[in-house]
């Protein structure tokens, strides 16, 4: 059974039709990349999969581990193992990073019928993952993403992913705004989590990240539809030719 099966997915935001029939299948152990021009609907797809309720699904279905993902609330999807690394992580003053992360882990553990983690269980793992992502301890006593640089926010998303250990990780342009060193660190964080149990959907605008996270499949999303799919070589082709030709392809014949 595939981990994720997206079938003819249509979605609209504020009355605008953004996704116009997306089809995609991900198996556990695979890394898929979605590329596409700005405004093509990549983030919309990611947010729909993470169950943002203001994004209305108008047609199609999504099965996640055999269950109807579209029936799930965001927290249910999260507890079932779906994780979205946001393109624009939200700053939330007044909520401590570490406190939040432990609350989230415990919410998920509770859902799965596991015991809650106390600070003593939490801290060693937390410290180790912080180190892996070369993040400063001091950031963690601050409010969630508040005053973080763009790169720090993106790394914080990957830190959360590393702590929550999802089965399906969706990375929405985690690479944009990162310098090359930060990009490598983020890629290492992702690669460390790659396993036969887990699938990744890596959304990116540029091919750069894919040098470090080698995808199994690359899909091109244009105007709310996947117009081409292929192997890693497709990313290189896109890099060379730009998105112009794919857009032309997206036009109805």
Which residues in the 144-183 window bind other proteins by CB under 8 A?
Answer: 160, 164
- Does 230 contact ligand ADP by CB under 6 A? no
Q: Which does 13 bind (CB under 5 to 8 A by kind): other proteins, Mg ion, ligand ADP, none?
A: ligand ADP
Chosen residue from 1, 90, 138, 180 binding other proteins by CB under 8 A? 90
Three-point CA angle 114, 197, 70, nearest 5°:
75
Count of positions on this chain that bind other proteins (CB under 8 A):
30
Q: How far is CA 27 from CA 4, 106, 115, 119, 196, in A?
A: 7, 27, 30, 35, 9
Please give the size of the binding site for Mg ion, defined by CB under 5 A: 3
Supply the minimum distance, in Å, between the C-beta of residue 44 and other proteins. 14
Segment 36 to 75, residues that bind ligand ADP, using CB under 6 A: 36, 38-44
Judged by CB under 8 A, the chain residues 188 through 207 that form the site for other proteins are: none
Burial class (CB in 10 A: 0-12, 13-18, 19+), 246: buried
Residues 95-114 contacting other proteins, CB under 8 A: 95, 100, 103-105, 107-108, 111
Binding mask 8-27 for ligand ADP (x = CB under 6 A): -----xx-x-x---------
> How far apart, in whole angstroms, are the C-alpha atoms of residue 240 and residue 121?
48
Phi, psi of 149 (to 5 degrees): -70, 165
Binding residue for other proteins (CB under 8 A) from 8, 67, 68, 75? 75
Please give the C-alpha separations between residue 115 and each of 12, 109, 130, 149, 187, in angstroms, as whole numbers.
39, 7, 23, 35, 31
Do strands 143-144 and 67-68 pair parallel, antiparallel, or not at all (unpaired)? unpaired
> Is residue 40 within 8 Å of residue 224, measured between CB atoms?
yes
**Residue 51 interface partner, choices Mg ion, ligand ADP, other proteins, none, CB cut-off 5-8 Å depending on type:** other proteins
Q: Which is nearer to ligand ADP, 79 or 218 (CB)?
A: 218
Which of 33, 40, 43, 160: binder of Mg ion (CB under 5 A)? 43
Give the interface with Mg ion as residue ranges (CB under 5 A). 42-43, 87
Give the interface with ligand ADP as residue ranges (CB under 6 A). 13-14, 16, 18, 36, 38-44
Give the interface with other proteins as residue ranges (CB under 8 A). 50-54, 73-75, 77-79, 83-84, 86, 89-90, 92-95, 100, 103-105, 107-108, 111, 143, 160, 164
């Amino acid at each position: 059974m595939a981990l994720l099966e997206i079938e003819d997915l249509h979605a609209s935001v504020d009355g605008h039709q953004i996704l116009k029939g997306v089809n995609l299948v991900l198996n556990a152990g695979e890394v898929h990349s979605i590329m596409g021009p700005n405004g093509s609907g990549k983030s919309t797809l990611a947010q729909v999969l993470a169950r943002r309720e203001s994004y209305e699904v108008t047609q199609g279905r999504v099965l996640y581990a055999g269950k109807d993902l579209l029936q799930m609330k965001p927290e249910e999807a999260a507890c079932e193992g779906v994780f979205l690394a946001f393109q624009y992580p939200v700053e939330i003053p007044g909520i401590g990073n570490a406190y939040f992360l432990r609350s989230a882990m415990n919410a998920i553990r509770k859902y799965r019928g596991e015991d809650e983690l106390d600070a003593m269980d939490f801290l060693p793992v937390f410290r180790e993952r912080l180190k892996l992502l070369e993040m400063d301890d001091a950031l963690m006593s601050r409010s969630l993403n508040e005053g973080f640089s763009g790169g720090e926010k993106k790394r914080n998303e990957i830190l959360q992913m590393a702590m929550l250990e999802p089965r399906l990780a969706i990375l929405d342009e985690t690479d944009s705004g990162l310098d090359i060193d930060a990009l490598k660190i983020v890629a290492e964080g992702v690669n460390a989590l790659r396993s036969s149990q887990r699938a990744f959907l890596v959304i990116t605008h540029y091919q750069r990240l894919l040098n470090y996270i080698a995808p199994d499949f690359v899909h091109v999303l244009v105007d709310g539809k996947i117009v081409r799919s292929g192997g890693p070589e497709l990313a290189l082709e896109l890099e060379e030719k730009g998105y112009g030709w794919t857009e032309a392809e997206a036009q109805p014949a």
